[in-house]
Structure 1
Amino acid sequence: MVSLVCTLQGHRDDVNCCAFSVRLLATCSTDKTVRVYSAADFSELPFSPLAGHGYGVHCCCFSPCGRYLASCSTDATTMVWSMESGDIVAVLQHPGRSPVRVCAFAPGTSYLVSGASDGSLAVWDFQSKALLKTATVGETAVVACSFTPCGQMMATGSTYGDLRLWDLYLNQLHVVKNAHDLGVACCHFAPQVQSDGQSVHFRLGSCGQDSLLKIWTVLWHGPAGCKLRLLHTLTGQSAPVLSCAFSADGQLLVSGSVDKTVAVYDAHQGLLLYTLKQHERYVTACAFSPTAALIATGSMDKTVNVWRLLDGSSEHGNEEKAVPGRKSGGCVTLLASDWSEDNVSAWLCEEGLEALVSTFKANNIDGVELLGLTKETLTAELKVDSVGLRNKLLRKVEELKMSMVCTGVPDEFLCPITREMMKDPVIAADGYSYERDAIEGWISSRNRSSPMTNLPLQTTVLTPNRTLKMAIGRWKASQP
């Protein structure tokens, strides 16, 4: 589920953009200001609001390190602010002095891109304040811009409805005409990169005046060029969709619409998970926190709402749970990993292993400990000397693990390593989801190979799979 954390009411006019860094939330408005809040408690910082623009502020974004904030305005400037003091670091005057509609930092560089109402793009080195390159998309406003996680390619969208891919030096790589009929409003790359050895894959979300949210895959073949392929067209909102953003793990996609709603989707399957209806006017902005399960949404009602995503399991803490002995269709309905010490004792008695009850109780063996037992543990730590008793117990534990399949548990909820339902699912570099403890143990002992493909993992970074965790929570709550 999603709960409303707080409503920020500092702006005096339409909120046009929201942006998170690791520790801050920034919002900008037609009231000419940028406001900055702590992402911990959403208190406004002492140097906020930032008041340097002469007209309304259309977009704001943090540098990858979070030390700087850029904002752009109808006054034809992009300003860069220090997030330590709130001071202006740079004022970048857009070529042609056209209103600047969008700005974005390139990850891993000191480059900043700005796009304007006259269809022009500019690449700046914001630290030296040097204009490095310009380009134009024609007589249309550039209103959307997003960089790939590697920072070597970006996508732009215009009011003509086209999506264009560029390299960092504004060489056009690919264009999709009429990607959104009546115009693109926003685009955003997912933070993940995938590679099959021949090409690099990115996912791009885009939305527009056609009331659609689209998910694309971008295939980058290096010198051979790139292609944009449509994966999903999402129709969960009934009016123009003005903003969209991927979550930090790439599992969720959020969008805001003229119909006053915020929609949260499963980004892989294209399924609508939640519709939020707290705003009173058009929802113009949305952003995910990079470190917490938080969404910020801004609106023409002058407010910013902060929402928290919950995994769903805590909602049902008082529900009645099955215990060993209560079965459905011949299978235990409570997962063994959820068993208490008493549940384990009851199961031992049920399976004719009463002789182990006192030993297990003395060593506080619950469901998780039971499923992790090995021959060595039973011999050295629990002092179970009987070979027959040890072997019988281990056979029963294996049967218990396999019984999870016949409970009707969806296979995607089971960790590929342990075959148990996941409690803390994470995504590894091979694209598969695992229980965190299981994959961390695998990596530490198996020389960083993939359990599913046996190929080397390009990185050992593990990304929380919040969407899967929420799905597991909902499924568990639906069981009798």
Structure 2
Amino acid sequence: MVKLIHTLADHDDDVNCCAFSASLLATCSLDKTIRLYCLSDFTELPHSPLKFHTYAVHCCCFSPSGHILASCSTDGTTVLWDTQNGQILAVMEQPSGSPVRVCRFSPDSSCLVSGAADGTVVLWNAQTYKLYRCGSVKDGSLVACAFSPNGNLFVTGSSCGDLTVWDDKMRCLHDEKAHDLGITCCDFSPQPVSDGEQGLQFFRLASCGQDCHMKIWMISFTHILGFELKYKSTLSGHCAPVLACAFSHNGQMLVSGSVDKSVIVYDTNTENILYTLTQHTRYVTTCAFAPSILLLATGSMDKTVNIWQFDPGALCQARIPEDQPEQFVEDWSEDDVSDWLCAQGLKDLVDIFKMNNIDGRELLNLTKESLADDLKIESLGLRSKVLRKIEELRKKVKILSSGIPDEFICPITRELMKDPVIASGPYPRHMEVSRLGV
């Protein structure tokens, strides 16, 4: 379940962006201001709103520590604020003077990227506030940016529809035509996906655009093996341009906001729609998940920001599809194993299994010793429960692969019945006993 728990209506114009830290929510607007709210009760901080920009504020983002907030504006500046007192730490002017549309901190807080309407992208040193590197895309305005979770690359999106991938030295690694009519937003999932065959780690990247679609990409980059980008899928839940997208803190959910005034929450693994939220009365321009709690913020041209709270079970909505043959457990991916754990009430083990790259084949080979020694599951009761569930899987795999009709299988133990009885009639004393010669 997801429910609307609060609505903020303090801005005087369209809300362009919202961002979370561990304790704060920041929002910015066409009204030239940035507002800060406490997550405990959504009261506005005493030093809010933050005022400096002379034109619309397009984007805001927190440093990973949450102590610094960056904002950028049509006035051509990116400003760094101290979130504890609202004081300005630095004003960084785009070299070209062009309106700045997007800004993002690197995961280690060492760098900040700002992208402008003339296609220039600047990598700033976030400690010295000095320009480190500068580049540009071949066409269009820069309107989107996201760092990979490990910080060794970042992606920018342009109004011409191009995704451009840069390494941490500002070298262009790849350019991809991603969306007709232009990109509007992009975001990386914080959780990597492992390629079992080659042992590579891929990161999911979501991009959305004016073509009404959201696309999922898989990106891998190491200095030894180089760069790889794979198109994975297209999500078409909206009927109008998609303006914003964001992954949840554990990568299990993906949210999008659209010109159709709706917000759609997807299950990342199955790509099924979990929720469609329709409370905004105008275009949904921004959405963001909190970094460690089940909160979602959505902002709109209706001048409001809605705060949504998810039930703790929401991140484990995914289930193994009913039509997925269980004899193919050996072919399960790590995400399929995560879904299975959630379905068995073992969602607390998802991170442990993912960290150890447990896919279907590895799952079926787990033993009491490997659970204790390799996966470091200390609880005896938890290890026993996992083993029981795995044993049930093994029995199902064995039975389904043998081709034995289900009516010959005990519905309780799931073992082959050697001497079954069939009861019929309205009363226990009216019983027919039939023996199958098995």
| TM-score, scaled to structure 2 | 0.75
Q: Give the whole-Å Cα distance in 2 for the aligned partners of 1:413 and 1:298.
A: 31
Match of 2:373 in 1: 446
Q: What is the letter of the counterpart of residue 184 of structure 1?
A: I
CA displacement at 1:421 relative to structure 2? 3.8
CA displacement at 1:108 relative to structure 2? 1.2
Q: How does 1:19-58 map to 2 (within 5 A)?
A: 19-58=19-58
CA displacement at 1:245 relative to structure 2? 0.2
Q: What is the letter of the counterpart of residue 96 of structure 1?
A: S
Q: Give the whole-Å Cα distance in 1 for the aligned partners of 2:165 and 2:139.
A: 18
Q: How does 1:49-448 map to 2 (within 5 A)?
A: 49-177=49-177, 179-196=178-195, 198-311=199-312, 415=341, 420-422=344-346, 424=348, 426-428=350-352, 429-431=355-357, 445-448=372-375
Note the residue ranges of structure 2 that are not aligned, 5 or more in a row. Answer: 315-335, 360-365, 379-438
In the TM superposition, what whole-angstrom CA distance separates every residue of 1:135-174 from its partner, at most 9, and x where no partner exists? 0102410000000111110011000001111011210111
Contact in 1 for aligned 2:206/2:245 (Cα 8 Å): yes
Q: 1:303 to 1:9 in 2, by over 3 A?
A: same
SS of equivalent to 1:427: helix
CA displacement at 1:58 relative to structure 2? 0.3
CA displacement at 1:198 relative to structure 2? 4.9
How many residues align structurally? Answer: 347
In the TM superposition, what whole-angstrom CA distance separates every residue of 1:442-477 from its partner, at most 9, and x where no partner exists? 8994144799xxxxxxxxxxxxxxxxxxxxxxxxxx
Q: 1:450 to 1:184 in 2, by over 3 A?
A: farther
Contact in 2 for aligned 1:90/1:126 (Cα 8 Å): no
Q: What is the letter of the counterpart of residue 216 of structure 1?
A: W
Q: Give the whole-Å Cα distance in 2 for the aligned partners of 1:121 and 1:423.
A: 41
Note the residue ranges of structure 1 that are not aligned, 5 or more in a row. Answer: 314-409, 434-438, 452-480
Q: Give the whole-Å Cα distance in 1 for the aligned partners of 2:10 and 2:138.
A: 37
Q: Give the whole-Å Cα distance in 1 for the aligned partners of 2:82 and 2:109.
A: 17
Contact in 2 for aligned 1:77/1:94 (Cα 8 Å): yes
Contact in 2 for aligned 1:146/1:189 (Cα 8 Å): yes
In the TM superposition, what whole-angstrom CA distance separates every residue of 1:43-93 from its partner, at most 9, and x where no partner exists? 111111000101000000000111100000000000000011110001000
Q: What is the letter of the counterpart of residue 15 of structure 1?
A: V
Q: Give the whole-Å Cα distance in 2 for the aligned partners of 1:442 and 1:310.
A: 34
Q: 1:76 to 1:424 in 2, by over 3 A?
A: same
SS of equivalent to 1:284: strand
Q: 1:413 to 1:259 in 2, by over 3 A?
A: closer
SS of equivalent to 1:157: strand
Contact in 1 for aligned 2:120/2:134 (Cα 8 Å): yes
Match of 2:13 in 1: 13
Q: What is the letter of the counterpart of residue 244 of structure 2?
A: S
Contact in 2 for aligned 1:184/1:206 (Cα 8 Å): yes
SS of equivalent to 1:192: strand
Contact in 2 for aligned 1:232/1:270 (Cα 8 Å): no
In the TM superposition, what whole-angstrom CA distance separates every residue of 1:18-46 from its partner, at most 9, and x where no partner exists? 10011111000000000010112111111
Q: Give the whole-Å Cα distance in 1 for the aligned partners of 2:280 and 2:89.
A: 34
Q: 1:139 to 1:423 in 2, by over 3 A?
A: closer
Query: 4+ residue stretches of structure 1 with deviation over 2 A?
Result: 193-200, 221-225, 410-416, 419-428, 430-433, 441-445, 447-451
Q: Give the whole-Å Cα distance in 1 for the aligned partners of 2:33 and 2:255.
A: 25
Q: 1:27 to 1:168 in 2, by over 3 A?
A: same
Q: What is the letter of the counterpart of residue 307 of structure 2?
A: V
SS of equivalent to 2:96: helix
Q: 1:270 to 1:131 in 2, by over 3 A?
A: same
| TM-score, scaled to structure 1 | 0.68
Contact in 2 for aligned 1:147/1:153 (Cα 8 Å): yes
